[in-house]
Amino acid sequence: MAFEKHVAEHERRKAHALAMGGAERLAKQKAQGRLNARERIERLFDAGTFLEIGMFARSDRREEWDRTPADGKVCGYGRIAGREAAVVSHDITVKSASSSPINVRKMGHMRRTALANGMPLVLLNESSGARIPDTMGAIGTGTLGQDPTQFVRMREIPYVSAVLGPAFGTACWFTQLSDFVAMRKDAQLAISSPRVTEIAIRQKIDPQELAGWRMQAEVVGKVDYGVDTDEEAIDLLKKFLSYLPSHHNEMPPRAAVPAGADEGSRGLLELVPEDRAKVYDMRKVAAAICDPGSVFPLKDRFARTAFTALGRIDGQVVGILASNPMFKAGAMDPDSCDKATAFLVLCDSFNIPIVILVDTPGFLIGVEGERRKAPGKVINMMSALQMCSVPKFSIVMRKSYGQAYLNMGGTRNTDEMLAWYSADVGFMDPNVGVNVVYGVKREDDPKRFEELKQEIQRDSSAYDLAGIFSAVAVIDPRESRQWLSRLLEVHQKRPTKGVGRHLMGGWPTTF
Amino acid sequence: MATEKVRAEITGTVWKIVSQPGQQLAEEDTILIMESMKMEIPVIAPVKGTLASLLVKEGQEVSEGQDVAVIET
């Protein structure tokens, strides 16, 4: 056979790369209930579509050549539901998938190619951080930083991350840059490992408190979902991407409309209590308005007074931003503002029309809020909303008071503001307003308090809002879905075909 | 067995106890309902488990961040 020696050598080298860190390490990985780097790619991509890039890359240290197949990061292109994407899958069995000059070069190539060709970048993260001894000393550390755009994020393409084991250093940094993160409940995400951190600060560290999924999902708000398995994490990345365009100059893909899609909306009168003292779960309202099964919450365990989700109405992707009365009565706090801002930036960057559902008594005010920069966060959210150039619609369902009325799309801060006939709009909650304006407390003079409350509540109805043409329509709650569906059709007629101006593409990825 | 403390997210008064110690709770089941800002606001289970103890009584005033119940997970 011609090229016989070449063929044999080529096959030997391929087998060496595909064997990753060796049978023993792979078996250990499997015994822990984890997929290996290549199995994760199989789970991610449509069967037979993976094209590996950099299979023969290896450490630049001669003595490590044989021990660093693919240099610990398996990269390439493949299709997810028929659409191209790029992947970096960290191989923990090779030098703990630590970052080296060669594999960082591979990552840079994937990022640049994904950007140039308008396709999502998928990061399957599991890495101990920078490789030792490669990065030791001035020569080691000074070799880093070869790519001056490595951490620039203009949101031209989606970045998604799964955190599937220890994720420190570069794996942590790219998770921070991502639009969506799913994390295994036994994984760790932090600047450095608990061990390194303990040594550095000479304190005993609880690994879960430092780097656990609940810290990330509930306190920090970077992780969208905590999951038990690699498969669940990877499937969530695919689900998130199913709502997004491949890049910022195209529209999100449309889906088929499920049968009976209009039925949920008809039950809205039963979901939302007429009694203002009663709360309800706004997530159920979003589910009733959107196509059945289409609501996909983001950051659902973080800052729960704000609810953010992707969903579909008549098959078209929308971003739902809502206050949720079930938590703190729907009063917005600094974390809710951060969550809302991040969501508005995501939707605007990827041409996703925004639907705002409003039932909020306002912003939570107090010393703690000021300490946590509440004013700046309120205005970040307001700026983001005003800079959004995708279609924006809001529905005032019950309460909407003060500045929160504006932050939630009041008057011209959305393209079309609708009001349910139950809407109640004013400068602040009337129960507080009586004391503020007239200095009368309910416990001191209940009769006078009620009279003044009636005075404050005068002219605060949905019809008053429509009477000055701030609300474009007063609607029956059961008509919400049909109204939004028609408004989406109207507002897709704009000459840009729905592609926004992306004024916030370069905003930070963490607020 | 690990325990999880449940905190009040808002300052107010305990209006109604809904779940009793020993009861199995799914994540987001209501433990008690507080009255705050003239509204009835539920305190829900952050994780699934058994309600080990209630740390407050009906009518009691509660501050934001105060522990109100313990769940064994």
Length of chain B: 73
- Average model confidence (pLDDT) across chain A: 95
Q: What is the pLDDT of residue A91?
A: 98
- At residue B43, the pLDDT reads 94
- CA-atom Rg of chain B in angstroms: 11
Q: What is the pLDDT of residues A251-280, one digit of tens each?
A: 999 999 998 899 888 899 999 999 888 999
The answer to whether the CB atoms of B42 and A279 lie below 8 A apart is yes
pLDDT, position A431: 80
Predicted confidence at residue A85, as pLDDT, reads 98
Report the relative pairing of strands A83-90 and A121-127 from DSSP bridges. parallel
Note the pLDDT of residue A321.
98
Amino acid making up residue A67: R
Q: What are the tens digits of pLDDT across the range A421-477?
A: 999 999 888 888 888 889 888 888 999 999 988 888 888 999 999 999 999 999 999
Let me know the angle formed at the C-alpha of A420 by A416 and A422, rounded to the nearest 5 degrees: 145
Closest C-alpha among A134, A218, A210, A132 to residue A172 = A210
- Rounded Cα distance between A28 and A136, Å, is 29
Task: Provide the chain A residues 189-248 that lie in CB contact (below 8 A) with chain B.
Answer: 218
Verify whether the Cβ–Cβ distance A329 to B9 is below 8 Å: no
Closest approach of A126 to chain B, Cα-based (Å):
26
Per-residue confidence (pLDDT) for residue A230, from 0 to 100:
98
Query: Nearest-CA residue of chain A relative to B12?
Result: A328
Taking an 8 Å cut-off on Cβ atoms, the answer to whether A328 and B9 are in contact is yes
Q: What is the largest CA-CA distance in chain A?
A: 103
- Is A331 strand, coil or helix? coil
Residue B22 structure tokens: 């020993």
- A34 pLDDT band, cuts 50/70/90, is very high
Q: How far is CA A413 from CA A78, A163, A306, A384, A391, in A?
A: 40, 37, 18, 11, 11
Residue-wise pLDDT tens digits, A189-212: 999 888 888 898 998 888 888 999
pLDDT band at A289 (very low <50, low <70, confident <90, very high): very high
Question: Is the pLDDT score of A318 beyond 90?
Answer: yes
Candidates B9, B38, B42; nearest CB to A277: B38
| A192, two tokens | 């450095």
Q: What is the mean pLDDT of residues B61-65?
A: 91
pLDDT at res. A435: 85
Find the distance separating the first CA and the last CA of chain A, reported in whole Å.
62
Please give the span between the terminal C-alpha atoms of chain B, in angstroms, as a whole number: 6
- Which of A:308-347 have CB within 8 Å of B? 325-329, 331
What is the ipTM for the molecules in this complex? Answer: 0.87
pTM of the model: 0.95
